[in-house]
């Protein structure tokens, strides 16, 4: 592998010895690795498409390599294998805020620039010189606190501002879904006093588990009014649980993420609202930022991408439907 001295001009971050080289493949192209939370999730498949579009436009090679489930235990060996191939830069959605810090430090210590996409490590505030997890160059993602607040407003409105709801979530320690739950609870506490938020149900990213948990919560609270599915699998499972309990339209569902299946559920009335992220933009800006850094430009320490709120009133609009995730 041909490594050349980094001779770039202005950079937003201090240039340390470890960061002072960039790697190009033998054909002279930069190689950028994208390590998703898991490979089979429509969210990351869509992110990869956006990343590939940027890679094509900029003439760099993109490698998409991840684990089959959303779990640090399976993600870390994939990351180790990626680091061993010395890519020019790594874009990664770390599956845990703390457990990915040391594995990613290996990349940083090897001089491979790290940018986190979707999820973050540590506090997600990078390049401050504080803490032990601020070495990634940039964090590119949705504003997940805001997304959780938007979900709370949608669910509170759907249930007329009164009644019991709960959050169907993945597991603690994931920056995105932790923040969505925090935003959801904060919004309910501040603005919807008539809404009671029951204990969160953690499903380990397993839609079947989320469906049985819905039925369990309903068995314990027959006056359950609504559920917020904090990511794709939580929302899909919660919706299925509502349907299996024969409560479609009675227990209201607000979904985070927008795969085709959730959109179908909007059309049947099972799901009220889906908050679509813009994963293709996250992937696109990830590659553009990596190349900008590799060619000597400064890059922002954080880039926020937007949301599209989908419901029965707008889902047929092509300007809305274009944000449905690719499968």
Which residues here bind ligand T6T, judged by CB under 6 A? Answer: 37, 41, 43-44, 118-119, 174, 176-177, 231-233, 256-257, 277
CB of 273 to ligand T6T, least distance (A): 15
CB of 325 to ligand T6T, least distance (A): 9
Give the 3-state DSSP-derived string for 252-321, with helices as H, strands as E and coil as C: EEEEECCCHHHHHHHHHCCCCEEEEECHHHHHHHHHHHHHHHHCCCCCCCEEEECEEEEECCCCCCHHHH
**C-beta of 30 vs 166, nearer to ligand T6T:** 166
**C-beta of 240 vs 277, nearer to ligand T6T:** 277
**C-beta of 31 vs 46, nearer to ligand T6T:** 46
3-state secondary structure of 137: coil
Q: Would you say 94 and 104 are in contact if contact means Cβ atoms under 8 Å apart?
A: yes
CB of 42 to ligand T6T, least distance (A): 8
Find all residues with CB under 8 Å of 101, minimum gap 6, and list them.
121, 122, 132, 133
* H helix intervals, 121-205: 144-158, 175-191
**C-beta of 174 vs 301, nearer to ligand T6T:** 174
Q: Which residue has the tokens 């349907």?
A: 243
* Per-residue tokens: 133: 């997890």
**C-beta of 22 vs 177, nearer to ligand T6T:** 177
CB of 264 to ligand T6T, least distance (A): 17
**C-beta of 44 vs 218, nearer to ligand T6T:** 44
CB of 140 to ligand T6T, least distance (A): 12
Give, as one character, the DSSP assignment of residue 107: H
CB of 214 to ligand T6T, least distance (A): 17
CB of 212 to ligand T6T, least distance (A): 19
**C-beta of 36 vs 226, nearer to ligand T6T:** 36
* Cα–Cα separations (whole angstroms), residue 104 to 167, 271, 312, 321: 30, 38, 42, 36
CB of 230 to ligand T6T, least distance (A): 8
* Cα–Cα separations (whole angstroms), residue 157 to 20, 152, 153, 229, 311: 52, 8, 6, 16, 13
**At 236, which helix (H) or strand (E)?**
helix 232-244
**C-beta of 82 vs 210, nearer to ligand T6T:** 210
List of E strands, 56-162: 61-64, 89-92, 114-117, 138-142
């Amino acid at each position: 592998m041909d490594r050349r001295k980094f001779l770039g001009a202005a950079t937003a971050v201090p240039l340390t010895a470890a960061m002072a080289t960039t790697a190009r493949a033998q054909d002279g192209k930069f190689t950028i690795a994208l390590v998703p939370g898991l490979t089979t999730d429509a969210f990351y498949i869509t992110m990869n498409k956006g990343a590939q579009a940027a890679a094509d436009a900029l003439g760099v090679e993109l490698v998409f390599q991840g684990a089959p489930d959303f779990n640090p235990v399976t993600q870390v060996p994939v990351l180790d294998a990626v680091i061993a191939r010395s890519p020019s830069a790594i874009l990664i959605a770390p599956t845990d805020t703390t457990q990915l810090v040391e594995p990613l430090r290996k990349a940083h210590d090897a001089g491979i620039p790290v940018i986190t996409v979707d999820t973050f490590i540590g506090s997600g505030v990078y390049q401050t010189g504080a803490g032990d997890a601020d070495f990634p160059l940039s964090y590119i993602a949705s504003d997940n606190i805001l997304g959780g607040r938007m979900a709370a407003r949608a669910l509170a409105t759907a249930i007329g501002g009164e009644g019991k709801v709960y959050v169907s979530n993945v597991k603690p320690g994931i920056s995105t879904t932790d923040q969505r739950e925090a935003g959801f609870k904060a919004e309910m506490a501040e603005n919807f006093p008539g809404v009671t938020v029951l204990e969160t149900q953690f499903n380990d990213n397993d839609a079947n588990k989320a469906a049985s948990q819905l039925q369990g919560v309903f068995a314990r609270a027959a006056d359950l009014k609504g559920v917020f599915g904090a990511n794709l699998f939580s929302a899909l499972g919660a919706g299925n649980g509502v349907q299996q309990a024969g409560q479609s339209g009675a227990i209201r569902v607000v979904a985070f993420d927008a795969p085709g299946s959730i959109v179908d559920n909007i059309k049947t009335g099972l799901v009220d609202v889906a908050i679509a992220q813009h994963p293709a933009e996250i992937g696109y800006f990830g590659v553009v930022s990596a190349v900008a850094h590799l060619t000597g430009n400064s890059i922002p320490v954080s880039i926020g991408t937007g949301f599209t709120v989908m419901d029965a009133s707008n889902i047929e609009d092509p300007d809305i439907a274009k944000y449905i995730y690719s499968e």
